[in-house]
A and B are shown apart, each in its own frame.
Chain A
């Protein structure tokens, strides 16, 4: 099937290119390889979490606990290292299982007891962050072997881009195939638009959503492992607030907050766009507060934009009577 880009995906991609070119021409340093290295390093954890978040929001739910899952994973990883677990594969495996379990708790409350995901994950946002402080308190664990920490940020040979982006790319392909080219994905869009009709078509809405929250937890944990090694520091406040960056990217990427609409390509473009914008403006000495304002405005624009267009269209139609 010849499938053109959905218009919103194209707009976000275009915006990314324009912002990159304008930035490179006007801001000193944006054209440098170092800049792109930092953008990528910053985008990796956001992208990892945005992948499952896209699917979750398409089903009409949301997971706001992701940053706290990341933080709790970091502290548990640090504590395990201090307690003598010295195998990196074992640490990663334990962290992923932990993240999956934390996601399963969310999933259980949401699908098992039928509670709204917004309320449940705001609760676990606080709960998991609190547990992170229980595990490490104000301490930081930072004495990881240097081989690990350098491996995490090693560039792809011949470039400055960290190799971990390839892992992100591979995972992005997996999520994109699930969402856009597998029977499960068809069910996700259906339940996001109309859960009742999805049930009548034999889609197991609750089970699917449960597993999505498990995936969201596991991916947040993976982002936590990367975070710990990149900064060589496990602290309870790691990643505080990045759930907003993730949700912002997903919505700016064209996913409807009401569920049922959106595509992964737009989301990935939006992750990159926000990263370039933030780092570029930083280089231009725009104060951090202004950056936050800009991100907020973009987010509102991405949510309001489609509604305004729809409203205008309806008003025009009404006036034709």
Chain B
């Protein structure tokens, strides 16, 4: 085995009271692909951000080639030869592919003018080394996610990156694109690079990696050669408990139709989407990132207008593009992006928790604070939100507690239809199980729950029925008994014609 190129030892990082990483170790060797697996909230993203120089570790050492490395900014990480490929790269859409690759360090000719010809040929050579075909002159806008990642990889190579961190690169890729990415990754590995590959898909991790590290709750659990591992062993180490406890699904009696969606279409986002969620039912909406799941939820909730179709709650039609009316009709949406959509980070816990109910909490049209405080306190207690004071800004809370505030905010409206979009993304395992228990309990009380989730275990563990979307269309409606990873993934990748 080749010597370690990059080593992390005893790395810890806390955000406020929340320890995201505790005493983590990791050794990346040149010429190897190293898999990193763990549940959402296990600390993988924090680790990536430390390697990318975004966060500085509170404790521990990072060494490169045996030299201690202090990464106090993204530029230094890049200079040290560490490149990170994110799940969704952020390119400059209006610049060409070549300009994106050489942004900030364009080849120059006389009078400090940019040598566009050289830039173009250099970019072409990079793509040739990767064995892919991409036009360096085309604008980045409109490139598929897979191609955008290749641009990022080309950029990394042009920077002589020796450590390549790939953070869930395949989450939004099709089968062919994944194969191409793997070919590129193997080529980089054979050229001596150390690759850290993060993925939720075990088949990929086992196919690509030589060693696998498992993390759980911010801690390092194990690192083993891939030959010594099986999927079952890895899952058990990731979860650290019996999986059934993670998904406390109660059996419920399915009642009358609550949410009916008929022929819903929005140009460029989704087309002819129709389904029904009954009282007491948890229906999962599965699919790859970009399949249009969140867009459908936004349209139902009135955030975006739809071009055709209708949405009914308890048989009453909702008006298009009217969120206030949707809330009044008993719809609640716990959005995907907690920080941008779920919460007003600068406002207090109390204000956030009562925002959708501000009209009903007013006495004689006035809100004098007492009713808001009472309402917020009641829900904070019920969901066990750990907050200093309810008047503290919600930004001071940990991710899991923030998510509880979002849930409290919507559960307090006593919804009849609850839409949750990635309800457990980025929260710790304990809170995750609590959220699942809560959803199950709500369904048992007669709420119709529509759950968007990219985590297959969550989908399979929680849903009575699984709807699958692919490229803006519903491709499958699978009852719980027949739902398996295979059946859902087939439909999600558009392979289910049967």
User: Is A313 close to B, CB under 8 A?
Assistant: no
User: Is B473 close to A, CB under 8 A?
Assistant: no
User: Is B344 close to A, CB under 8 A?
Assistant: yes
A residues whose Cβ falls under 8 Å from a Cβ of B: 1, 3, 177, 181-183, 185-187, 189-190, 193-194, 196-204, 260-261, 321
Nearest residue in B to A181 (C-beta to C-beta)?
B366
Which residues of chain A are within 8 angstroms of B343 by Cβ–Cβ distance?
194, 197
Verify A183–B358 contact, CB threshold 8 A: yes
Verify A197–B340 contact, CB threshold 8 A: yes
Could you tell me the distance in whole angstroms from the C-beta of B305 to the nearest C-beta in chain A? 13
Which residues of chain B are within 8 angstroms of A193 by Cβ–Cβ distance?
344-347
User: Is B369 close to A, CB under 8 A?
Assistant: yes
Which residues of chain B are within 8 angstroms of A200 by Cβ–Cβ distance?
301, 303, 323, 333, 335, 341-342
User: Is B293 close to A, CB under 8 A?
Assistant: no
Verify B370–A190 contact, CB threshold 8 A: no
Verify A260–B340 contact, CB threshold 8 A: no
Which residues of chain B are within 8 angstroms of A199 by Cβ–Cβ distance?
303, 323
User: Is B79 close to A, CB under 8 A?
Assistant: no
Verify B342–A1 contact, CB threshold 8 A: no
User: Is B103 close to A, CB under 8 A?
Assistant: no
Which residues of chain B are within 8 angstroms of A197 by Cβ–Cβ distance?
340-344
A183 to B370, CA, bound (A): 14
Verify B362–A201 contact, CB threshold 8 A: no
A45 to B324, CA, bound (A): 36
Bitwise, B333-356 to A at CB < 8 A (1) or not (0) is 101000011111111000100111
Nearest residue in B to A2 (C-beta to C-beta)?
B369
A190 to B356, CA, bound (A): 11
User: What are 19 A-B pairs with beta-carbon distances under 8 A?
Assistant: A181-B367, A182-B367, A183-B362, A183-B365, A187-B358, A190-B344, A193-B346, A193-B347, A196-B340, A198-B355, A199-B303, A199-B323, A200-B323, A200-B341, A204-B324, A260-B344, A260-B346, A260-B347, A261-B346
Q: A181-B366, A197-B340 are known contacts. Are A186 and B358 too (CB-CB below 8 A)?
A: yes
Verify B345–A1 contact, CB threshold 8 A: no
A193 to B345, CA, bound (A): 8
Which residues of chain B are within 8 angstroms of A187 by Cβ–Cβ distance?
355, 358
A187-B355, A200-B301, A321-B56 are known; give 17 further A-B pairs, CB within 8 A.
A1-B369, A3-B369, A183-B362, A183-B365, A189-B347, A189-B351, A193-B346, A194-B345, A194-B346, A197-B342, A199-B303, A199-B323, A200-B335, A202-B356, A203-B324, A203-B355, A204-B323
Could you tell me the distance in whole angstroms from the C-beta of A297 to the nearest C-beta in chain B? 28
User: Is B1 close to A, CB under 8 A?
Assistant: no
A193 to B355, CA, bound (A): 13
Nearest residue in A to B58 (C-beta to C-beta)?
A321
User: Is B368 close to A, CB under 8 A?
Assistant: yes
Which residues of chain A are within 8 angstroms of B358 by Cβ–Cβ distance?
183, 186-187
User: Is B409 close to A, CB under 8 A?
Assistant: yes
Nearest residue in B to A318 (C-beta to C-beta)?
B56
Could you tell me the distance in whole angstroms from the C-beta of A300 to the nearest C-beta in chain B? 23
Verify B344–A198 contact, CB threshold 8 A: yes
Contact of A186 among B323, B365, B367, B409 (CB under 8 A): B367
Which residues of chain B are within 8 angstroms of A194 by Cβ–Cβ distance?
340, 343-346
A200 to B341, CA, bound (A): 6
Could you tell me the distance in whole angstroms from the C-beta of B433 to the nearest C-beta in chain A? 26
A42 to B370, CA, bound (A): 39
Verify A202–B323 contact, CB threshold 8 A: yes
Nearest residue in B to A183 (C-beta to C-beta)?
B358
Nearest residue in A to B303 (C-beta to C-beta)?
A199
A17 to B356, CA, bound (A): 40
A183 to B361, CA, bound (A): 9
